[in-house]
Structure formats: C-alpha cells, structure tokens
C-alpha cells in the first residue's frame, strides 16, 4: 500500500474540490431551460448577419432593423421581458456562433438538412427561394430568361454572399459561369452595379428590393421550377428543451396569424426604398 504524505493528501483534496466546483458551474447554454437562462442573464442575444429586408443595420448608428430583427426584439422584450442585444456576425459564422453560445437565437436562417445536423429551428416566419437580378442592357443575359441553364455560360459572372443558402444553391447547379463570392449584401450589389458581375443571386424578397429601387435598369430572373425553395426561421441550439422551442413557435405562429409578420415585411421594404426615391 502506498502512503501519501500529509501535504500530498491536502493537495489532492484541493484539486478534487476545485474540479468539482468547475464542473458544477453550468454555462449559459447548459442551463435546464434556454429562456430561463436568458431571463436570469436579463438579455436575449440575437445573432445577426445583414440580409435586407430580413436583417438590416444602419452603418452610422449600428441600429438593427428589418422584420427578423423586429421579431427577435419583440420576443425578447414582450415575451421574455428582457433587454435585447444584437450580435453582429457573418453568414459564414452564424451557425458556429450559435453553437458556441455567442448568442441565443440566429436570425433569418434557411432551414436546410445540412444545418439541421448542427442546430434546430423554430417554426418558419416566411419562405424563400433564389432569384437573379441583372442589368436589362447586359447582352450576356438573354431577355426573358427563366432558367439557370440560360445564364450558366462561360464568361458570365454571378455575385453571391459567401456562406449563404443562395451560395450553396447556385454552387450545386452552376457549372460553367463564374461564381463571385463576396462577404456581404453591399459588396454583391456593388459588384452588379459596377458591372464586375453580370448577375446577383440572392433571396427573392431581397432581390425584390433591388428591382423596386432601380426599375430603370434592374430586372429579375425567377427560375422555374423555384430554386432552393425553403423556409426561413430562427436558428436555436440543438440542446434547447422542447418546451422552450414550443414557446418560441407559439410566438412566431401568433405573429403570422395576426398579420404582424406581413406588416413588418412591408415596413422593412418601404424603409429600404424610401432613401432611393
């Protein structure tokens, strides 16, 4: 039998005690209830990557708007009764940041089988598909085009936000055209407007904003059948209890049934268009 000195025994006791304390302190993500944890912290953290009109951010003030931003703000303030904090992120990191507890909800995520392996989703707040905007005077784009095959040609460049659902969608079907992956919405629009790109692939509702703002030159190709038809929802962590998901779903469904979501969408679209009038 090995005898331990008094000093060694005391050291081991302290080590085990410290380990027990560390193991006993749960992280915010490990609490029994996600919303209980949010209420305890006093703040709901909304992970936000810009994609008008879903999520918009004023570059001067940093203020967030857009209908998904408003849904998250209302859920935090009116349902959970806590402050709401928006955490700026990118589409490349919006799932990983949720998994690592950098925020509590990810905004405006397309519910895809790939993402469902990593996170869970709320009930959908709206639907989504991919469309293409182009300059009417661009000879590379056939007038009246209604399929990806008509624009998937050598020498054609398609701009898209890197890491988004539309990036994945066009990557699966575009074989000959060049895909220009850029970090954000401003960059993709600038690429199209400066004619560095021939087309812009984006969410149908986002591209609607662009064509409404620039009817003199912007036109849309809406592929048939719809490309990447999906639902758009809140992203939540896999370990979120069913009761918490049900509470979030109840809120989303109530907003849909009351017409609040449609009103928020119209308000967001109008906010985007007014500066361009």
Q: Render each residue's pLDDT in the chain as its tens digit; 277 residues.
A: 344 444 334 443 444 443 333 333 344 444 458 899 999 999 999 999 999 889 999 989 999 999 999 999 999 999 999 999 999 999 999 999 999 999 999 999 999 899 999 999 999 999 999 999 999 999 999 988 999 999 999 999 999 999 998 999 999 999 999 999 999 989 999 999 999 999 999 999 889 888 988 999 999 999 988 999 999 999 999 999 999 999 999 999 999 999 999 899 888 888 877 654 4
Contact 180, 196 (CB under 8 A): yes
- Per-residue model confidence (pLDDT) at position 276: 47
Asked whether residue 162 falls in the same domain as residue 253, the answer is no
pTM of the predicted structure, to 2 decimals = 0.72
| 248 and 225 share one domain | no
In a domain, 6, yes or no: no
- Provide the phi-psi class of 223: left if phi over 0, else alpha when psi is between -120 and 50, else beta: beta
Residue 18 lies in a domain: no
Q: By the 8 A CB rule, do 149 and 169 touch?
A: no
Give the distance, in angstroms, between the CA of residue 88 and the centroid of all CA atoms in the same chain: 11
Q: How many separate domains does the chain show?
A: 2
The verdict on residue 16 lying in a domain is no
Q: Are residues 153 and 213 in the same domain?
A: yes
Expressed as residue numbers, the domain containing 167 is: 129-229
Residues 135 and 222 in one domain: yes
**pLDDT at residue 266, rounded to an integer:** 85
pLDDT at residue 6 in the model: 42
Same domain, 102 and 187: no
Residues 261 and 199 in one domain: no
Residues 249, 186 share a domain: no
Whether 93 and 217 share a structural domain: no
Clarify whether residues 117 and 136 are in a common domain.
no
CATH code at position 219: 3.40.190.10
Q: Quick one: 109 and 140 in the same domain?
A: no
- pLDDT score recorded for residue 274: 65
Q: What is the pLDDT of residues 23-38, one digit of tens each?
A: 333 444 444 588 999 9
The reply to whether 89 and 101 lie within a common domain is yes
């Amino acid at each position: 039998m090995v005898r331990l000195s008094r000093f060694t025994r005391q050291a081991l006791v302290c080590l085990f005690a410290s380990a027990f304390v560390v193991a006993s302190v749960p992280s915010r993500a490990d609490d029994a209830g996600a919303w209980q944890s949010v209420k305890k912290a006093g703040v709901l953290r909304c992970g936000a990557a810009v994609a008008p009109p879903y999520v918009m951010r004023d570059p001067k003030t940093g203020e967030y708007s857009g209908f998904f931003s408003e849904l998250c703000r209302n859920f935090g303030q009116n349902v959970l009764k806590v402050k709401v904090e928006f955490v700026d992120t990118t589409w490349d990191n919006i799932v990983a940041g949720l998994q690592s507890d950098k925020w509590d909800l990810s905004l405006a995520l397309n519910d895809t089988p790939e993402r469902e392996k990593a996170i869970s989703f709320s009930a959908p707040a709206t639907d989504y598909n991919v469309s293409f905007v182009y300059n009417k005077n661009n000879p590379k784009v056939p007038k009246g085009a209604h399929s990806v095959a008509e624009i998937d040609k050598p020498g054609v460049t398609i701009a898209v936000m890197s890491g988004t659902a539309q990036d994945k969608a066009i990557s699966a079907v575009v074989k000959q055209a060049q895909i220009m992956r850029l970090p954000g919405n401003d960059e993709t629009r600038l690429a199209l407007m400066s004619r560095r790109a021939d087309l812009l692939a984006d969410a149908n509702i986002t591209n609607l904003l662009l064509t409404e703002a620039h009817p003199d030159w912007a036109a849309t190709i809406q592929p048939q059948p719809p490309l990447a038809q999906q639902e758009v929802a809140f992203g939540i962590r896999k370990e979120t209890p069913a009761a918490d998901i049900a509470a979030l779903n109840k809120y989303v469904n109530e907003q849909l049934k009351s017409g609040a979501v449609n009103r928020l969408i119209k308000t967001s679209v109008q906010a985007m268009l007014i500066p361009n009038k």
